[in-house]
Structure 1
Amino acid sequence: MTTDRLQRFRDRLALPLIAAPMFLVSGVELMVAACGSGVIGSFPTANCRSTGQLDEWFAEIETRLRRHEDQAGRKAAPLCPNLIVHRSNARLEQDLAVLLRHKPEIVITSVGSPAAVLKPLHDAGALVLADVASIRHAERAAEAGADGLVLLTAGAGGQTGWLNPFAFVRAVRAFYDGIIVLAGGISDGRALHAAEVLGCDLGYMGTKFIATHESMADDRYKRMLVDSSADDILLTTAFTGLQTSMLKPSIIAAGLDPDDLPARGAIDIAGDIDVAAREKRPKRWRDIWSGGHSTSGVTDVLGVEDLVARTAAEYRKGSALRPQHG
């Protein structure tokens, strides 16, 4: 496992963990709490209504983290924006310009090759991690020069991959010596330690951060995660056109049958003639919520600091385990 690229901020991490970037969930409060607690805080730039608001978010987070560092006497973990690099992102160039001004230490790219943004981000001093859902995507991102790969495996929330994490990590590690981040099913500190043993440098934790006081998620969403288990996660293409992990109870609450969903990508895409009727339709992410297989590990709604402390204790216990033979 290669860790030298992370060496510059390893002493600022309470855990080798990224609070995963989640659409309409990861905001200023969650970033400040995660980074201040020693976890890399990541948020989609698309969570900001405009490039101007993205600039404002950066300024506020940076100011509050400096204040936290002064009080705590230690540097916070890095802030890590998540940039969609697909041509469908009309704000790509403008958002990239904001990132280059604020010089984040890490950037995660999504939905496509990071090739077009690698040089400017590298020139600004950022490590670039590309999320990938297949071996071929991993090979292409590695060839482009990504510093790290986020492996979207079976069990991750939102739009996800289908590969088994054991097989995916080992296949990628066979040809790639950069940073590997495992996304999918990390529900506690022991699982995080297992990801390291498997060959990863960092893990993603998303679902459990949804159910924190600081997340932007609806309180009903947080409670639904507490009340649900992995059996309540449905992998479907109905809402985005891509394989997406969604909470069955939210689908039912929206008046839909999880066992009889419309065709691929049909929900919330075809327009209604009646504007008022269209507005009342259930919308993905806003009314129909996502979760990963780690939903089974969500037992209560916590503050981020408490979640990180609990995860760190589990991680230490997992690290102390030794294989038993005989």
Structure 2
Amino acid sequence: MTAPLPSNGSCSSHPALHTELCDLFGVRHPIVQTGMGWVSGPELTAATAEAGGLGILASATLSPEETRTAIRAVRERTAAPFGVNMRGDAADVTERAEILVREGVKVASFALAPTEKVIRRLKDAGLIVVPSVGARRHAEKVAAWGADAVVVQGGEGGGHTGSVPTSILLPQVVDAVDLPVIAAGGFHDGRGLVAALAQGAAGIAMGTRFLLTSDSTVPDRVKREYLQRGVTDTVVTTVLDGVPQRVLRTELVDRLLESGRLSRAARSLKHAVAFQRMSHIPWRDIVREGLAMRRSHGLDWSQVLMAANTPMMLRASMVDGRTDLGTLASGQVAGLIDDLPSCAELIDRIVTEADAVLTRLTVVPSDAGKAMNARVR
């Protein structure tokens, strides 16, 4: 395993909150902010890192040069450790990995598992490698390849997700691999952190909860859209890119669900052209990624074309604030969130609540203690 980074201090007054994740990442609290495209920019990443969690910069929607610039922008804002998230199936993942190495990034995070070769290259350069998975077999695979930790997202999570709930998937993966497991999907408070630790996790990762903070650059009108929703106001659909994805149910999503494949394909082609012009990613690389998706997910060509929807439709909402034109990736936990704290306020709140819960659970009431002593005698 990669040598741990120096710790920035204890996670909390309760020893159970200083997990192996704190030592591995060199952070104060076992809390990770996930790498969300168009959301996890330098501002949110740095704010999370400054608050003692692990902030992760999203790079899948950035060009290599933009990724390099964003990494430096994070470093201008904080000296704390942070990570960068990449797509494991990206055609230029090797080039992007080298950027992380040259820029001195400490944690490489992956949406979809990278190859063993990429993992080995990053580890040899001293990076901590953390893939995200949604099934036990995937966790076992990346563990065998040398991953240092793994994020396990249950079906409650937002964006691309599986069908197994976190409460079932988490202990299954914990029992299957011998490396730190980070629980994702459905977490937003200290009670959830304690529950994850009780099931064997070394910490939690949150996306929707960090999106809904004052440090997030997502437009206020979009945040308000999330805050007014309930726990049943999301839907998992394959119409966006051929892979199950959890989003808020909006009028746009309803129209897409009702539209035919031909009209969705036409929309996707338009978005593919727009994304290529904006990102400057060569068409050959886009085609290679499409072929990789077709192989790994068993998609047909119309579904591969639909995959071009995701970057541009997320940008329309998360950057431009156009909820009528863009989709809103969201975990079900959005229905439990009703405020927009700063990252510092949020993490402090979670740790304080977790500390109180653990203290309550480990302190035996005096009457119960007397009764127990009487039974012992």
Same fold (TM over 0.5): yes
Q: Which deviates more, 137-146 or 261-270?
A: 261-270
Task: Measure the CA separation in 1 of the matches of 2:178 and 2:202.
Answer: 10
| Alignment partner, residue 87 of structure 2 | 84
**Bigger helix fraction:** 2
* Larger Rg, first or second structure (1 or 2): 2
| Alignment partner, residue 29 of structure 1 | 43
Task: Measure the CA separation in 1 of the matches of 2:183 and 2:74.
Answer: 26
Task: Measure the CA separation in 2 of the matches of 1:124 and 1:5.
Answer: 20
1:54 counterpart = 2:67: yes
- 1:93-108 pair list within 5 angstroms: 93-108=94-109
What do the CA deviations read for 1:188-226 (whole angstroms, capped 9, x no partner)? 111011101110012111111111222232222211111
On the 8 A contact 2:134/2:162 being kept in 1, the answer is yes
The structure 2 residue matched to 1:256, chosen from 240, 254, 257, is: 254
- 1:269-284 pair list within 5 angstroms: 270-271=268-269, 284=313
Task: Measure the CA separation in 1 of the matches of 2:54 and 2:145.
Answer: 24
| Alignment partner, residue 339 of structure 2 | 300
| Alignment partner, residue 191 of structure 1 | 192
Q: CA offset at residue 241 of structure 1?
A: 1.1
Q: CA offset at residue 110 of structure 1?
A: 2.1
1:7 counterpart = 2:8: no
| Alignment partner, residue 322 of structure 1 | 361
Amino acid at match of 1:98: I
Task: Measure the CA separation in 1 of the matches of 2:258 and 2:19.
Answer: 46
Amino acid at match of 1:312: V
Unaligned regions of 5+ residues in structure 2, if any? 1-15, 275-308, 317-325, 372-377
Alpha carbons of structure 1 residues 159 and 136: separation in structure 2 relative to 1, 3 Å? same
Q: CA offset at residue 181 of structure 1?
A: 0.8
Amino acid at match of 1:300: D
Q: CA offset at residue 184 of structure 1?
A: 0.1
Q: CA offset at residue 176 of structure 1?
A: 0.9
* SS in structure 2 at match of 1:299: coil
Amino acid at match of 2:77: R
Amino acid at match of 1:82: N
What do the CA deviations read for 1:242-286 (whole angstroms, capped 9, x no partner)? 1111001xx21x37347636559946754369x99xxxx995313
On the 8 A contact 1:34/1:305 being kept in 2, the answer is yes
TM-score between both structures, scaled by the size of structure 2: 0.73
| Alignment partner, residue 38 of structure 1 | 52
Task: Measure the CA separation in 2 of the matches of 1:172 and 1:267.
Answer: 37
TM-score between both structures, scaled by the size of structure 1: 0.83
* SS in structure 2 at match of 1:212: coil
Alpha carbons of structure 1 residues 231 and 54: separation in structure 2 relative to 1, 3 Å? same
Q: CA offset at residue 93 of structure 1?
A: 2.5
Q: CA offset at residue 28 of structure 1?
A: 0.8
What RMSD, in angstroms, separates the aligned Cα atoms of the two structures?
3.0
1:140 counterpart = 2:141: yes
Task: Measure the CA separation in 1 of the matches of 2:128 and 2:116.
Answer: 13
Task: Measure the CA separation in 1 of the matches of 2:137 and 2:206.
Answer: 24
Alpha carbons of structure 1 residues 204 and 264: separation in structure 2 relative to 1, 3 Å? farther
1:64 counterpart = 2:77: yes
What do the CA deviations read for 1:112-165 (whole angstroms, capped 9, x no partner)? 344121122112211111111112212211221211111121100110121122
Aligned residue-pair number: 303
What do the CA deviations read for 1:295-316 (whole angstroms, capped 9, x no partner)? 1221022222222222222222
The structure 2 residue matched to 1:288, chosen from 327, 334, 345, is: 327
